[in-house]
Amino acid sequence: MKGAVGRICGDASPTEFSFIVFDPKSVRHTDYIKAWNDVDGWVMAQVVDIKATSDISESEILQGRNVEKELYLAKAVVIGKRDERGMLRIPKTPFVPGENVFKAEEDLVVDVLGLEKDGIYLGLLDDTQIKVNLDLNSFVQKHCCILAKTGSGKSYTAGVIIEELIEKGAPLFIIDPHGEYATLKEPNRNEGELERMEIFGVKPKGYSNVMIYVPPNSPFVDRADGVLKLDGTNLTAEEIVELAGITSSTSQALLYQAIKNLKDRNYTIEDVIQEVESIKHNAKWALLGHLEKIVEAGLFNENPTPVNALLQKGKAIVLDMRGIPPEHQDLIVSRICHKLFELRKRDDVPAGMIVLEEAHNFIPERGMGKAVSTPVLRTIASEGRKFGLGLMVISQRPARVDKNVISQCNTQIILRVTNPNDINAIKRGVEGLTAEMVDEVRRLPPGTAIVVSPELERPVIVSVRVRKSMHGGQAVNIIEKKRGFFKAGKKDKKKDRGLKKREKSFFEKMFG
Ligand X SMILES: Nc1ncnc2c1ncn2[C@@H]1O[C@H](COP(=O)(O)OP(=O)(O)O)[C@@H](O)[C@H]1O
Residue 177 has what DSSP assignment?
Answer: T
**Continuous segment of H or E residues that includes residue 127:** none
Which one of Mg ion, ligand X, none interacts with residue 120, CB within 5 to 8 A by kind? none
Of these partners, ligand X, Mg ion, none, which one is at the site of residue 185 (CB under 5 to 8 Å by kind)?
Answer: none
The candidate with the shortest Cα–Cα distance to 79, out of 99, 105, 108, is 108
Q: Which stretch binds ligand X (CB under 6 A): 35-43, 315-323, 469-477, 499-507?
A: 469-477
| Number of shown-chain residues binding Mg ion (CB under 5 A) | 1
Output the smallest distance, CB 6 to ligand X, in A: 32
Supply the minimum distance, in Å, between the C-beta of residue 264 and ligand X. Answer: 47
To ligand X, the closest distance from the beta carbon of 466 in angstroms equals: 5
Can you tell me which of 148, 276, 291, 413 binds ligand X, judged by CB under 6 A?
148
**Residue 472 touches which member of ligand X, Mg ion, none, C-beta under 5-8 Å by kind:** none
Taking CB within 5 to 8 Å according to partner kind, which of ligand X, Mg ion, none is near residue 200? none
Closest CA to 289 of 332, 219, 240: 240
| From 77-85, 233-241, 267-275, 466-474, span contacting ligand X (CB under 6 A) | 466-474
From candidates 245, 446, 454, 498, binder to ligand X by CB under 6 A? 446
Query: Which residue pairs, CB below 8 angstroms and at least 24 apart, start in 46-50?
Result: 46/76, 46/77, 46/79, 46/458, 47/74, 47/75, 47/76, 48/75, 48/76, 48/77, 48/436, 49/74, 49/75, 50/21, 50/24, 50/74, 50/75
Q: Which is nearer to Mg ion, 35 or 391 (CB)?
A: 391
**CA distance to 15, 144, 313, 414, 448, per residue, from 444 (Å):** 27, 20, 36, 9, 6
Kindly indicate which of the ranges 149-157, 184-192, 399-407, 455-463 contains the residues binding Mg ion, using the contact rule CB under 5 A.
149-157
* CA 54 remoteness from chain centre: 45
Based on CB atoms, which residue is closest to ligand X, 23 or 191?
191
- How many other C-beta atoms are found inside a 10 Å radius of the C-beta of residue 431? 11
Measured CA distances, 106 to 32, 116, 117, 461 (Å): 10, 12, 11, 15
Does 474 contact ligand X by CB under 6 A? yes
Residue least distant from Mg ion (Cβ): 155
> Cβ distance 340 to 310 under 8 Å?
yes
Other C-beta atoms within 10 Å of 483: how many?
A: 15
**Shortest Cβ distance from residue 449 to ligand X (Å)?**
8
Stretch that binds Mg ion, among 44-52, 147-155, 375-383, 444-452 (CB under 5 A): 147-155
- Residues 68 and 167: beta-carbon distance below 8 Å: no
Q: Does 473 bind ligand X (CB under 6 A)?
A: yes
Helical H segments across 43-82, by residue range: 58-61
Q: Does 155 bind Mg ion (CB under 5 A)?
A: yes
| CB count in 10 Å sphere of residue 175 | 25
Q: How far is the CB of 163 from ligand X (least distance, A)?
A: 12
Q: Is 419 in the site for ligand X (CB under 6 A)?
A: no
CB of 471 to ligand X, least distance (A): 5
In the complex, least distance from residue 319 CB atom to ligand X, rounded to whole angstroms: 17
By CB under 6 A, tell whether 398 contacts ligand X.
no
Contact 423, 450 (CB under 8 A): no
Give residues in contact with ligand X (CB under 6 A). 148, 150-156, 193, 446-447, 464, 466, 471, 473-474
Binding-site ranges for Mg ion (CB under 5 A): 155
